[in-house]
Structure 1
Amino acid sequence: MTQDTLPGDGVWTDESDWEFADHEGELDQEHVPMPTLAVVGRPNVGKSTLVNRILGRREAVVEDIPGVTRDRISYEAQWAGRKFWVQDTGGWEPDAKGLQQSVARQAEQAMQTADAIVLVVDATVGATSTDEVVARTLRRAKTPVILVANKVDSEKLEAEAASLWSLGLGEPKMVSATHGRGTGDLLDLVLESLPDTPRETLGGTGGPRRVALIGKPNVGKSSLMNKLTGEERSVVHDVAGTTVDPVDSLVELGGKTWRFVDTAGLRRKVSQAGGTEFYASLRTKSALESAEVAVMLIDASEPVTEQDLRVISMAADAGRALVIAYNKWDLVDEDRREQLEREIEREMVQVQWAKRVNISAHTGRAVQKLVPAMETALESWDKRISTGALNNWLKEIMAATPPPMRGGKLPRVLFATQASTRPPTFVLFTTGFLEAGYRRFLERKLREEFGFDGSPVRVSVRVREKRERKK
């Protein structure tokens, strides 16, 4: 079999009807950043029910008590062929104290960063003083706002809902999130209000990079947060599970400002946690989704557990840059170090790419080493490889180590491109399926050639049928 060549246009193929522009155009539609719709309102007006209705599936937690949703949680939605993020928020109380004050901050931040806003009001109650304060704030915002009168389950409630014109946000869109009444028309209006591309992307210029401190309960996350901030920012207690809500702190490290989020320890399974622990687990997942790099704390003085591995997998599956910090290193003797090395080699083979730092949150030992580890991981997370360099490298790899044959045929890679960053995602256009083992081989070789320390790398294969030539 003859070896394919790499033409000057960057397409590795011997088929004249395969064109560079064809592949690039195909990817453009799939990796365009999506705009965000924030769903806001006071507690218990049906925001999460409406989010579920928009999504067409049950994702947001719904309960008949106010304040179940405490953090901003984002979900991917699609309507009429367009994709966008839907951000569920906690209820906004202008005079909120304590926990409700934290909820209010989350809702306000969603309003500041969203591309369109849905303000949900309970039509059966009417406009409250809280609704009026929210509406006054939103009238000053440049972001498009859609006023939704929820719980309009019948025509007789429409007259009462019409009174919401008084909020000064235009015509209230009458819906019943529970029954789906009016939600199709609402979604049409949402698409009209959302821009084609978001006004703000994750980790954009000017803002501090977001770091999520994750790990099982009582591993030292809050102690590390307090050491970094130099104050008792997070509650520390020997009882596992002290932290419930994600706690945000701006931290000066290495001459930069970072936004750290201390999260609740994740249980072995969400289904095993009840009440407050269950919702804490959901909010921790949300904090991880909104972060750019995760710092995973592991108690180095104890054996690596199933909980540790599950949290690590969650960070990797979320596509976040990852630093693994082995905490309580001051308690580790020589025997434990040798044992830990064997555990890492045996149990953590899937995340060998993660940056590793040995620290002591209690004494502050080597905490500053987190900075270069996070910077390297984020640099890899943001890295982009040119199409020419990628295909030249791939040509050499395929020539030296061809993929396994399938059905008596040797799959050929016709073209490769980096579809996106954060994390680096590569798409291979092939004439046949590539075995999972060979894809892992390519990922390993990618890392050897281009780096990507501290970042997951995704390699997907798109099998293309040979096109019939025009006669």
Structure 2
Amino acid sequence: MKKIAIIGRPNVGKSSLFNRLVKKRDAITSDMAGTTRDVKRREVVINNKRALLLDTGGLDKGCELYDKIKDMSLKAAHKADIILYMVDGKGLPEDEDKKLFYELQTMGKDIALVVNKIDNDKMKDKLWDFYEFGCDAIFGISVSHNRGTVNLLEWIYNHIPDSDIIDEEAEEIISEPEIPEYENELNDEEFFAQFEDEEDGYFYTDEEEVEDDSIFAQNDKIKEFDENDINHIKIAIIGRTNVGKSSLLNALLGEERSVVSDVSGTTIDPIDESIDYKGKQLTFVDTAGLRRRGKIDGIERYALMRTKEMLENANMALVVLDASEPFLDLDEKIAGLVDQNRLACIIVLNKWDIADKNEFERIKNEVRDRFKFLAYAPIITLSANTHQRVDKLHDMILKINENYSQRITTSQLNAVIDKAQQRHQLPTMHGQVIRIYYTTQYETRPPKIAIVMNKPKGLHFTYRRYLTNKLREAFDFTGTPLLFKAKKRGER
């Protein structure tokens, strides 16, 4: 599959073109230079040919962060087969653009000069200024107004080999890609209504009631396994800023995939990358670091929304904590998102190479005390920077995925529940005897258990916790939440 890299200096419209070609608002766009920092990859279809599109960070220089972004973007260009070099058509050609363009030309790749922001016919004359780049393939377009992209798409199409055609019978029509308008992508008040706590000012989301599943609609049949789904594990890496999430992603992948910097909030747009490991596809998502509400700058508001969306689609979360510093209340708020989304979980104590090793028991106890709602999550100490014990994390992910996806037979469940009742009888409710008829698992990922009984409201939360503990003793549910639903017999 051919790789197409969109390259250029900051704020020329690279991410907007990326979104236009993938036909959805995938990459975060703004007027702030440096919004895109990592290389974002998505598969696209140009007419009937498939390609991999790369959105890169701006080719700027100055501080250490921008130097790293530029270096990673140029590496993406070197690996690409087709390069779209974008410039801002509203100004005069920049000497820095010419220098970078000439360097890319020497690589012998297919390269086009894309002059963006040619918003109307009067501005077409400005294209003549850019012919001094010495490029035959020059395209004047306006991404925001969806003008002039047909010729560009046709050029791209002609440089993708016929071997990448996905449907030989598809009608060969190059058309303007249509996606929703970019303006007013997010309303600030609506956004913060989801994430504000007026009392302490910390980011959080409200606890939601677990959906009331209709477990008897299919005659108590247990949900069938989807092998493809189970073999694909989607893992979100979450935590506050500067705890080492991007470093951990790079260590897990074995390559520099995400920009790492001491600048707080380096990652803005969530970056996902997949690897194959022991027959499983592991997709890691490096999400934006979360801060206190009062410290959130404009573009980070979009990042928070994307993080929430990623968690809704994930199976597992790696909650990354900085073991070299005291934990904060914000760490608990962030970890609460794992509980809210009912995800499998591993607690990662990062920066163990600079932490006080003699304090392990104290740190572990503090984690267990602060994160009681993640009592099921195992703890691993590692250093993403030195790769210490990172290799163990891959196998731990596979093991927890097994627990998260496992299905316990009804007979096994009932044997454990019956034994638990013999040891401690269900308390009565207003003098009425409470009976459990049987127990069955009706769904996986996470495991959901239906308790069929005469008085569902009589299942006190303390007895529910007791049954949970007994099931965890009998079966390996390490790393996964275990959900109960009390139902009447025949209840829908």
Answer yes or no: same fold by TM over 0.5: yes
Partner of 1:326: 349
Instruction: Tell me, yes or no, if structure 1 residue 223 matches structure 2 residue 247.
Output: yes
Is contact 2:276-2:282 (8 Å) kept? yes
Distance verdict in 2 for CA 1:465–1:284, change over 3 Å: closer
C-alpha displacement of 1:452: 0.8
Distance 2:379 2:281 in 1: 21
SS at match of 1:204: helix
CA contact (8 A) 1:42 1:130 kept: no
CA distance in 1, matches of 2:378, 2:434: 34
Q: Match of 1:250?
A: 274
The equivalent position to 2:477 in structure 1, one of 429, 434, 452, is 452
Report the CA distance shift for 1:378/1:168 in structure 2 as closer, same or farther (over 3 A). Answer: same
In structure 2, runs of 5+ residues without a counterpart are 1-17, 37-41, 59-72, 77-144, 158-164, 168-172, 179-183, 185-224
Asked whether 1:295 is paired with 2:318, we answer: yes
How far is the alpha carbon of 1:371 from its aligned partner?
A: 1.9
Contact 1:245/1:263 (<8 A) preserved:
yes
Partner of 2:336: 313
1:213 is paired with a residue whose SS is strand
1:15-34 equivalent positions in 2, closer than 5 A: none
Equivalents in 1 of 2:231, 2:465: separation in Å? 35
**5+ long unaligned stretches in structure 1:** 1-40, 49-59, 71-88, 103-124, 143-164, 173-177, 179-200, 467-471
Q: CA deviation at 1:224?
A: 1.6
Compute the displacement of 1:340 (Å). Answer: 0.8
Q: Retained in 1: the 8 A contact 2:233–2:280?
A: no
Q: Partner residue of 1:237?
A: 261
Could you tell me which of 279, 286, 289 is aligned with 2:309?
Answer: 286
1:225 Cα offset (Å): 1.9
Percent identity, aligned pairs only?
32
Instruction: Say if 1:281 and 1:444 are closer, same or farther in 2 by CA, change over 3 A.
Output: same
Secondary structure of the structure 1 residue equivalent to 2:264: coil
Alignment of 1:40-439 (within 5 A): 97-98=55-56, 129=149, 204=228, 208-251=232-275, 258-269=282-293, 273-432=296-455, 433=457, 434-439=459-464
8 A contact 1:203–1:209 mirrored in 2: no
Deviations 1:139-179, CA, capped at 9 Å, x for gaps: x989xxxxxxxxxxxxxxxxxxxxxx99799xx9xxxxx9x
Cα distance, 1:298–1:92 mapped onto 2, change above 3 Å: farther
Cα offset, 1:333, TM superposition? 2.1
The 8 Å contact of residues 43 and 92 in structure 1, kept in 2 or not, is answered as: no
The 2-side partners of 1:256 and 1:166 are apart by 37
Name the SS of the counterpart of 2:426 in structure 1: coil
Q: Which 4+ residue blocks in structure 1 deviate beyond 6 angstroms? A: 62-65, 89-96, 99-102, 125-128, 130-134, 165-169
CA RMSD between the two structures = 4.9
Residue range with higher mean Cα deviation, 347-356 or 417-426: 347-356
- For the 8 Å contact 1:42–1:131, the answer to whether it is kept is no
**Which whole-Å CA distance do the structure 2 matches of 1:367 and 1:350 have between them?**
25
Describe the superposition over 1:6-61 as per-residue Cα deviations: whole angstroms up to 9, x where unpaired.
xxxxxxxxxxxxxxxxxxxxxxxxxxxxxxxxxxx9669x989xxxxxxxxxxx9x
Change (3 A) 1:126 1:357: closer
CA contact (8 A) 1:355 1:453 kept: yes
SS at match of 1:456: coil
Q: Offset of 1:334 from its aligned partner? A: 4.5
* Range that drifts further, 332-341 or 294-303: 332-341
Question: In the alignment, what sits opposite 1:160?
Answer: none
Q: Is the 8 A contact 2:150 2:175 kept in 1?
A: no
Aligned twin of 1:19: none
Instruction: Report how far residue 90 of structure 1 moved.
Output: 13
Please tell me whether the aligned partners of residues 42 and 91 of structure 1 are also in contact (alpha carbons under 8 angstroms). Answer: no
Q: TM-score, normalised by structure 1?
A: 0.57
Amino acid at match of 1:290: N
What CA distance in whole angstroms lies between the structure 2 residues aligned with 1:131 and 1:459?
57
TM-score by length of 2: 0.55
For 1:331-389, what per-residue CA distance to the aligned partner results, in whole angstroms no more than 9, with x for missing partners?
22245323213312321222121122110111111111102211121010000011122
Which amino acid is 2:270 matched to?
P
Structure with higher Rg: it is 2
CA shift for structure 1 position 392? 2.5
Counterpart secondary structure, 1:402: coil
Structure 1 distance, partners of 2:278, 2:385, is: 20
